[in-house]
Amino acid sequence: MRQTVYITGHKKPDTDSIMSAIAYADLKNRLGEYEAIPIRLGKLSQESRFVLDYFGVKPPEIKESMKLTVGDLSFDKGTIIDPSIPIRKAWDTFQKGATNSLTVVDNDGEIVGIASLSNITKSYMDVWDDRILGRAHTPVDNIIDVLAAKIIYLGEEDPTFPGRMMVFAMGGSKEDLKDIFTDGDIVIAGNRTDYDIILKQNISLLILTNGTGLSDEVIEIAKENKVAVISTEYNTFMTSRLLPMTIPVSQVMTTENLIYFKTDDTLDVVRDAMAKSRFRSYPVVDATKKVVGSVSRYHLISSNKKKLILVDHNERNQSIDDIDEAEIIEIIDHHRVANILTTSPVFFRAEPVGSTATIISEMYLESGIRPSREIAGILCAAIISDTLLFRSPTTTDTDKRILDRMSKIAGINPEEFADKMFRAGTSLKGKSAKDLIEGDIKTFTIGDANVRVGQVFTMNPEELVPIMDDLKKQMAAKIKERGEDTFVLVLTDIFNQRSELLVVGEYYDDIQEEFGELTPNGTINAEGVLSRKKQVIPKLTAAIIKA
Ligand SMILES: [Mn+2]
């Protein structure tokens, strides 16, 4: 079995983190090195969701802990049995040596008990009760199975066994034998001539030994008296020994204080429970409560840490919270090298390129494996996202070369795709006026004025038109409540390097004069303006000071 490795990007994952984790897991799986599983440490962004939908790729599972769970152990395959099977069959299973406890489940697959070797042996040593078969509601099928018996006569209804187990070894007349029997007895007998006497004693079952048969006449008597008759090849001694072993496992299994584990229980929980109990093994159930195996103390000894590969980050505070529970085996990143400590040597690949997806793409090319159309597509999306389609100063020639190659495999036009992706990623649909004015907000004192400046990144400022009146009303209410003078909401389109300003309150005309013309959306155009700190505030300052 290949080892499992988890691959994750950073917290608050962006498109590069998500797509790099998925693509690198795909590469690892195709190289056959590991069973690689991409995971994520937070919510998918609007942009990432668009990309995954666009290429039809499944999002990584969210995972919040690297603690080992029962599912990570190579525990034993469980043997599950029905509560009605004879203890003899359970014993046979133990003799095969595969397990030392059997999980007893009902028809719905839910655990009703656990039968261990000691349950079975104890029950056999304890049986001095000659009415145990009846008390244990033993089905006649169990007796037939364990004795490998042939049915000679079985009535329409299966017999019950309210009497004792007895061997009929005596001779004599009908009168002499009267007191030997009680109602409902199970009678074991060899080759005799007086079956008619036995069959008329209101017994429940006659077991013939040494393969003895009955004449048709005698079978008729059995039918008339409603006595079931079976015949076994075992001799009388062996038959007597085996008969108590026909009782169902439900009679001897442990049903109180059952301890079993779920596959997602952490090993802390398991160790704790095992320390407080003395069972040899414990059933393991999956999320649907179905038994999937059994776990014993020795499975814990060899448990290794979970293996983890970090992509698009190498700082511990950006990674999974309990990262120390994991063994980091690789890091693929394009950020500064910071403060991850590893216990053993790792494969560390860092390149000063525009995105981690660029490095993962290189690794595909280096390994001679051609990514699928979908994987090439998500890699393109990640490169475009992190480099803002080469507008970001972090862009390198490598990013350009790789995007060119990958976009051909993916069959996309990078410019067209970038426009679609950034629009989808920054869509304001579904956002309320309240979301927008409570988002990324800072307040500034400029001269005598207190100015509230919010910034929203969007390529779709026109989506605000339907809520514009409500938005302005709420902005006005906000500054009134705070005793501030002006509210400026900056709608920034990084991709096209421009912003639009929605201004409410004092200094409106001065601000408009400073920035530019009105747009069709009723906002103030601010070409080339991207940074609140470096561009918006200096211009606001100029406008307000002039006023
Ligand atoms: Mn990145």
Count the Cβ atoms, other than its own, within 10 Å of residue 157. 8
Our CA angle for 317, 320, 324, nearest 5°, is 85
Cα of 19 to ligand 1 centre, how many Å?
10
Which residue spans within 447-485 are E strands per DSSP? 449-457
Helices within 315-372 (DSSP H only): 356-367
Q: Which H helix or E strand runs over 222?
A: helix 216-224
Cα of 487 to ligand 1 centre, how many Å?
33
Cα of 42 to ligand 1 centre, how many Å?
15
Cα of 460 to ligand 1 centre, how many Å?
24
Q: How far apart are CA 529 and CA 124, in angstroms?
A: 88
Cα of 20 to ligand 1 centre, how many Å?
9
Instruction: Give the CA-trace dihedral at 173, 175, 180, 182, to 10 degrees.
Output: 130
The CA–CA distances, whole Å, from 137 to 188, 226, 342 equal 19, 19, 61
Q: What does the DSSP 8-state code read for residue 305?
A: P
Cα of 334 to ligand 1 centre, how many Å?
7
* Longest Cα separation, the chain: 132
Cα of 349 to ligand 1 centre, how many Å?
14
Q: Which two tokens stand for residue 38?
A: 């991409």
Rg of the chain over Cα atoms, rounded to whole angstroms, equals 39
Q: What does the DSSP 8-state code read for residue 376?
A: H
Cα of 310 to ligand 1 centre, how many Å?
12
Q: Which H helix or E strand runs over 350?
A: strand 347-350
Cα of 357 to ligand 1 centre, how many Å?
8
Q: Which two tokens stand for residue 128?
A: 């001095």
Q: How far apart are CA 482 and CA 472, in angstroms?
A: 15
Cα of 103 to ligand 1 centre, how many Å?
49
pTM beyond 0.75, yes or no: no
According to the model, what pLDDT value does residue 35 have? 93
Q: Which two tokens stand for residue 410?
A: 């993916």
pLDDT, averaged in runs of 10, over the chain (547 residues): 89 96 97 94 95 97 90 82 91 80 85 87 76 92 96 90 91 76 93 89 94 93 94 96 93 89 91 88 86 87 86 92 92 88 88 97 96 98 95 93 97 96 91 86 89 92 89 94 94 90 93 90 90 90 87
Encode 43-58: b = buried (16+ Cβ within 10 Å), e = exposed: ebbebbbbbbebbebe
According to the model, what pLDDT value does residue 29 have? 96
Cα of 419 to ligand 1 centre, how many Å?
19
- 3-state class (DSSP) for residue 127: coil
Q: Are 152 and 125 in contact (CB under 8 A)?
A: no
Cα of 167 to ligand 1 centre, how many Å?
83
Cα of 489 to ligand 1 centre, how many Å?
28
Cα of 16 to ligand 1 centre, how many Å?
5
Q: Are 143 and 159 in contact (CB under 8 A)?
A: no
According to the model, what pLDDT value does residue 432 have? 86
According to the model, what pLDDT value does residue 1 have? 62
Q: How far apart are CA 363 and CA 349, in angstroms?
A: 10
Secondary structure tally for the chain: helices H, strands E: 20, 22
Cα of 394 to ligand 1 centre, how many Å?
10
Q: Are 246 and 223 in contact (CB under 8 A)?
A: no
Q: Are 72 and 3 in contact (CB under 8 A)?
A: no
Cα of 538 to ligand 1 centre, how many Å?
30
> Which residues fall inside 5 Å of ion ligand 1, going by CB?
16, 312, 356, 386
- The torsion angles phi and psi of 524, rounded to 5 degrees, stand at -95, 130
Question: For the residues of 463-490, what is the DSSP string, one character each?
Answer: GGGGGHHHHHHHHHHHHHHHT-SEEEEE
Cα of 14 to ligand 1 centre, how many Å?
8
Q: Which two tokens stand for residue 259?
A: 């301890």
According to the model, what pLDDT value does residue 127 have? 59
Cα of 305 to ligand 1 centre, how many Å?
27
